[in-house]
A = this chain, B = another copy of it.
Amino acid sequence: MSNRRDFIKYSGLATGGLIVSNSLSASTNDSPKPKSGKSTKMKLTFRPYDLQLRHVFTIANNSRTTTPVMLTEIEYDGLVGYGEASMPPYLGETQKTAAEFLAKVDLSQFGNPFLMEDIIAYVDRIAKGNYAAKASVDIALHDLIGKIVNQPWHKLWGLNPAKTPNTSFTIGIDTAEVVKQKVAEAEVYKVLKVKLGRDNDKEMIKTIRSVSKTPICVDVNQGWTDKQMALDMIHWLAEQGVVFVEQPMSKLAVDDIAWLTQNSPLPIIADEALQTVADVVGLNKIYSGINIKLMKCGGMRNAFKMANMARMMGMKVMIGCMTETSCAISAAAQLSPMVDWADLDGNLLISNDIYDGATVVDGKITLSDLPGIGIRVKKGAAPKS
């Protein structure tokens, strides 16, 4: 989409590089060397957007046909970084709360986008919560930095793009006939994901197994209340080729979950029990692993820290998503070479994506070579005016 802009960008980089390489001056916060040759400030803009779901989406407590998101952009020195906040209603954020939050974000005070640690700490201090809104700034900032250095984040993080995992694909709860049909349509995926925690759990699994041998991931969304019943169910699920069980019981039932993890034949993964960086240490020895979601933890920087931390503690790592465009999905996909399992199907569930980015090839997450988070605006999709 931007041959000319890229050309200007890299010409500028060449000149800037020569100058920098011949000086040994002290780095300072407030003296950026803009490639355009004139002083510049980061500028954050945002607009609401409603994702149209291909199918009615049902989880334990509700059904819906759209997901509200906020699309962000950070402009700096002729480049634009893209970000996104996805706000499924059950998490409490809305386009209104995100707009209020983002209106308070003033990035012009920072000399340059590389001051990530400071910028993200500043954004985090603006208000409590608002993790999706915070993630939308973090993602746009990462996209911008990747574009400045002309590298995708998986490379800046030192990850091997060949090691991306398969993504699971969610099969919504529905009648047996519809479930069978959805499973048939999902043939390309190497892992299916099912939301359990209702009274028809075994029926759902049996329905899928009647037509498919594909491994299944199970997300209970805190739906089970008795630990012995949960353990019995997990034993049964293990026999059915289930790979792991996410958040089987309430996040408050810490002792029960620790007991489950100790006795379970399948890994027990924390989802609702986990918000962001500070929570990871406390989950060691209680869960087998964590499900990292950008919208929950505040973005890519926290996600990378959490993944590393979990690895250092010997925990499994899963990366998940909300219903999102290819913007937030591709951002999460940058991290995916270092996870055990990925559930990055959010962009596949919508009909009005406006970005091209990471794709799924034969069930496997496949990263683009584009810099930053690896996306570009789809041809024909209206860019922000």
When C-beta atoms are compared, the residue in chain B nearest to A308 turns out to be B305
Closest chain B residue to A120 by CB distance? B158
Query: A200 on the interface (CB 8 Å rule)?
Result: no
**What is the CA–CA distance of A151 and B116 in the complex, to the nearest angstrom?**
14
Q: Is A75 an interface residue (CB 8 A)?
A: no
A281 touches B26 (CB 8 A): no
Q: Does A316 count as interface, using CB distance less than 8 angstroms?
A: no
The answer to whether B281 touches A312 (Cβ under 8 A) is: yes
Q: Which of B27, B280, B305, B337 contacts A367 (CB 8 A)?
A: B27
Identify which of residues 1-34 in chain A touch chain B, using a CB-to-CB cut-off of 8 Å: 2-3, 6-7, 9-11, 13-14, 16-18, 20-29
Contacts of A21 in B (CB 8 A): 2-3, 6, 150, 370-371
Query: Please, which residue of chain B has its CB at the minimum distance from the CB of A158?
Result: B116
A266 within 8 A of B: no
- Shortest A364–chain B CB gap in Å is 10
Q: How far is the CA of A160 from the CA of B149 in the complex (A)?
A: 17
B-contacting residues, A149-178, CB 8 Å = 149-152, 154-162
* Chain B CB within 8 A of A124 CB: no
B17 touches A14 (CB 8 A): no
| Chain B: minimal CB distance from A274 (Å) | 13
B158 touches A115 (CB 8 A): yes
Bound CA–CA A363/B268 (angstroms): 50
A305 to B162: give the CA distance in the assembly, Å.
22
Residue of B nearest to A112 (CB): B155
For A353-373 the 0/1 string (1 means CB < 8 A from B) is 000100101000011111100
Flag if A158 contacts B27 (CB, 8 Å).
no
Residues of B within 8 A of A309 (CB): 308-309, 312
Tell whether A381 is near chain B: CB-to-CB under 8 Å: no
Check A7–B18 contact: CB distance below 8 A.
yes
Please report the C-alpha to C-alpha distance between residue A231 and residue B9 in the assembled complex, in whole angstroms: 59
Q: Please, which residues of chain B bring their CB within 8 A of the CB of A29?
A: 160-162
Bound Cα distance from A277 to B312, whole angstroms: 7
Is the pair A160, B115 in contact by a Cβ cutoff of 8 Å?
A: yes
Contact B149 A312 (CB under 8 A): no
Interface centre among A10, A16, A361 (most CB of B within 10 A): A10
Minimum Cβ distance to chain B for residue A150 (Å): 5
| Chain B minimum-CB-distance residue to A20 | B369
Check A149–B152 contact: CB distance below 8 A: no
CB-based contact B159/A117 at 8 Å: yes
A150 near B149 (CB under 8 angstroms)?
A: yes
A376: CB under 8 A from chain B? yes
Q: Which residue of B lies closest to A27 (CB)?
A: B161
B301 contacts A158, CB within 8 Å?
Answer: yes
Q: Are A10 and B20 in contact (CB under 8 A)?
A: no
A229 at the interface (CB under 8 A from B): no
A284: interface (CB < 8 Å) = yes
A280–B337 Cα gap in the complex (Å)?
24
- Complex interface: chain B residues within 8 A of A305 (CB): 308, 312
> Across the interface, which residues of B come within 8 angstroms of A26, CB to CB?
161, 359, 361, 366-369
What are 9 pairs between A and B in contact, CB < 8 Å?
Answer: A21-B371, A26-B161, A26-B367, A26-B369, A114-B156, A116-B159, A149-B149, A149-B151, A278-B312
14 extra A-B contacts, CB within 8 A, seeds A10-B14, A16-B150? A7-B14, A7-B18, A13-B14, A17-B150, A20-B371, A25-B368, A114-B156, A117-B159, A117-B160, A149-B149, A149-B150, A156-B156, A308-B308, A308-B309
Question: Which A-B residue pairs are the 9 nearest by beta carbons?
Answer: A116-B158, A27-B161, A10-B14, A114-B155, A149-B149, A29-B162, A10-B17, A17-B150, A117-B158
